[in-house]
Structure 1
């Protein structure tokens, strides 16, 4: 298991270096005059040149990246080019909101999807039909459309939830719950049936294996077979799908945060990209890649624990 973990950590480190390098390069190539964006259209050529020297933009791109990477390794992600806020502080202030929403939503999706998937595989009938039809509908309807629908009905018309987030520094748990519950419901509705379908397919595949017939012939109860043996073997497929959905949600959360005006990482990344605030963008990218690496590592370790053959692959 130790060798397996070290291999995954090494591949994660390579992924981190490659993605940050590509992102840093593309940000500078896709930006026009960053100094002019900061100083405004009235800035003179001399002021722009001085600003570029101040920001290190007069240096070759590889030198700039190595300088940033070296500082990042020491825990210094720099400061915002527009408001001088430390990037680390800006990211850490926004991360709890985004991660709370995502983790809560994915946990709910995992519990509901596993229950629906097992029920659909064992009972079939109308439950199976609901899961399969729901998976098609969930894939067809974009998350932001569902979010706008929920806001219109439950926030604007019924007034059960705030239409926009009221989360502020020092806000109590009741404010967080009221602001994040509706977007969490949107995420759950968008993902749960497709995840349930994956659990259903994996459970059906396991129920058709020889060892299940052997367990039945020995007189084991169906519930014991399903929950003690079948679900354990089917879990890796479900965990893999959930990890992919969690990673995909890192990108989709940007739109949800816009719809619900949530002060999270997505909204901050969009604003920083529009302005050309590269230190902020790189801070968000770095944290996002680290989250992806951690999620993949945890899923690989869980799959390795459930299925020892995975550790040999």
Structure 2
């Protein structure tokens, strides 16, 4: 287990370097001028040029990145070019809404998908075909479109949930949950269909094995076989898919957070991109990359716990 964790962490270091370097270069090449964003359209060219020199934006891209990297290795992600705020504190303040959305959406997709998949595997027939149809439809329907529909139905028409905004859990657990119901539903429904199909296929594969028929012949109850033996052996590919789903939800969070007005890292990255605020964008990239690395590590640990053969790979 220690070897598995060490290998994952060793691979995380070059991943961070590669991701941050390419994001820095790509953002620097995007048309726009942060100095002009700070000073406004009425500022003179001389004022803009002086601010660019003061911020170090007149230097080549590689020295700018190396300076940022040197500070980041010391734990300093810099300051916003537009507001002057500390990027580390800004990401920390925006982390809770993003994690709340991603974690709850992953749990919802997992619970709903595994439940439907197991039901489809046991019952089969029309339900199995319905899962296939829903899985294809789930991949075709974008989450932001579902989000707009949910706002129209459940927030505007029926007024069951707030359309926008976020309530911290420390302030009101009920308000926190209500503010996340619609975003989580929009983000998780498409993923739940993919999890359902993967679960059904994995459970059917395990049900066809010889030892399951031995259990049935020995008189074990159907429920005991399903939950104590079949689901555990089918869980490895399901957990792998949930890891992919969780990472994919980070990308979906950029749109979902903007639709529902959640003050998360994704919505902050969109504003930073429009303002060409490179330090804030880099902070968002680092945050997302660290979350993906953590998700991958958790998936590896769960798989190793369920299947000891994973530890030797």
TM-score by length of 1: 0.93
- CA 1:182–1:110: 2 relative to 1, 3 Å: same
Matches within 5 A, 1:131-146: 131-146=131-146
Match of 1:250?
250
Is the 8 Å Cα contact of residues 165 and 262 (structure 2) preserved in structure 1? yes
Aligned positions, number: 313
Matches within 5 A, 1:79-118: 79-118=79-118
Distance 1:154 1:33 in 2: 40
Match of 1:78?
78
Distance 2:169 2:149 in 1: 28
| Structure 1 SS opposite 2:257 | helix
Is the 8 Å Cα contact of residues 167 and 262 (structure 1) preserved in structure 2? no
TM-score by length of 2: 0.93
Deviations 1:44-78 (A, max 9, x none): 34323322222122333222212111211222111
Query: How far is the alpha carbon of 1:123 from its aligned partner?
Result: 1.9
Match of 1:238?
238
Query: How far is the alpha carbon of 1:173 from its aligned partner?
Result: 2.6
Is the 8 Å Cα contact of residues 34 and 82 (structure 2) preserved in structure 1? no
- CA 1:3–1:166: 2 relative to 1, 3 Å: closer
Distance 2:166 2:299 in 1: 34
1:53 aligns with 2:28: no
Distance 1:168 1:115 in 2: 30
Distance 1:241 1:232 in 2: 15
Distance 1:288 1:246 in 2: 11
Distance 1:91 1:143 in 2: 24
Unaligned runs of 5+ in 2: none
Distance 2:239 2:26 in 1: 33
Distance 1:107 1:208 in 2: 28
| Structure 2 SS opposite 1:161 | coil
Query: How far is the alpha carbon of 1:169 from its aligned partner?
Result: 10
Is the 8 Å Cα contact of residues 34 and 81 (structure 2) preserved in structure 1? no
Is the 8 Å Cα contact of residues 121 and 128 (structure 2) preserved in structure 1? yes
| Structure 2 SS opposite 1:219 | coil
1:226 aligns with 2:200: no
- CA 1:289–1:134: 2 relative to 1, 3 Å: same
Unaligned runs of 5+ in 1: none
